[in-house]
Amino acid sequence: MQVIGLCRFSYPAIGGFQVEHGTMAERIAYLYSDARMEERFRLFETVALPSLRAQSDPDFDLVIVTGDSLPRQHRDRLCDLTAGLPQVRIAAEPPRRHREVMKELLNRARRDPDRPCLQFRFDDDDAVAGEFVERLRETAADCAPLLAKTDTAAIDFNRGYIAEFSAAGIAATAPAVHPYFTAALAMYAAGGCRKSVMNFAHHRIHHHMPTVTVTDVPMWVRSHNRFNDSRQERARPAAVAPLTPKQERDFATVFGIDAARVRAVFSAGQDGVGGPPGAPGRR
C-alpha cells in the first residue's frame, strides 16, 4: 500500500493558520522573515529530516509544499537539505485555499487512485520514530477487515515527547499520550476515495471516521518553538528538562536526532534564535 506524507514548509495558504494576517503580503513577510526561516531550517535539518532518513521502511513518498514566492536562497537551501532523500518531491504553489491545495497535491501523489493508500501529515519541526512507516503498514494490515468496510480510517500512534531544541541541546517532557496530535497520525483512504488526511482537522478526525490508536512506545517528537502556529496565544508551558546522556542516545536510536548535531547547528551564528531549553520566550 502506498504511503504518502505531506509537509507544509512555510506555504502562504489562504486560511490554514491560527496566526491571522490582514493581507497576503503581510503573511508572506511573516513566514519568510529571517529569524523565522532560520529557526525553521535549523529544526528541519536536525529534527524532521533525520527521522525521515532513519525510516526502517524507506518505501514512502513525501510532498513538501512551499510557496512560489519563497526567496531563492531559501529554496536552494531546501533543495540542498533534501537532495539525499529520493522520497521527496517539492511543490511550489501560489497562495490558494489551504485545504483545496493540500487535497489536490495528495491526490496527485497517488500512483494509482483506484488503489488504497495511507497518508500522513508531517510538520517541518517534528519527528517520527524510525519504525513509523513500517509500523503504519503493519497496523493497516492488522486492521484489514475494518478498512475493508470504510472509505477512511485514522491510525494514531499517540505516545511521544514534547521537546525544545537549542544551542544547549535537547530538553523534553517524559513520554506521554496525546491523542490525535499531527505527528504520527495517519489516515487510510480507500481506492477511489478522494478525501485526504488534510480534509480534516487532526484533533477532530475521530468525529468523521473510525480510528485505531497504538500506544505501546513513543512514536513522535513534537517541537515547541517560537513560531509554532498553534501556540501563539494562551500557550501552556511544557515541563521539559534537559536530556540525560542516556536519553540523548535513545533519541538518536529511536528518532535519528543527534543531540551533538542540534547543539552545533543552533550554536552556529548565534543571532537570538532559540536559547537554552526552557528559557523565557521559548514557549
Using one digit for the tens of pLDDT, what is the confidence trace for 84-93? 999 999 999 9
How far from each other are the two terminal CA atoms of the chain, in whole angstroms?
A: 39
For residue 187, what are the CA distances in angstroms to 120, 180, 205? 6, 11, 9
Cell representation of residue 142? 492488522
Q: Which residues does 163 contact at the CB level (< 8 Å), separation at least 6?
A: 170, 171, 172, 173, 221, 222, 223, 224, 240
pLDDT in tens, 4-16: 999 999 999 876 5
3-class DSSP state of 176: strand
Q: What's the Rg (C-alpha) of the chain?
A: 18
Mean model confidence pLDDT for the chain = 90
pLDDT in tens, 213-270: 999 999 999 999 765 544 445 556 789 999 999 999 999 999 999 999 999 999 986 5
- DSSP readout, 249-278? HHHHHHH---HHHHHHHHHTT--SS--STT
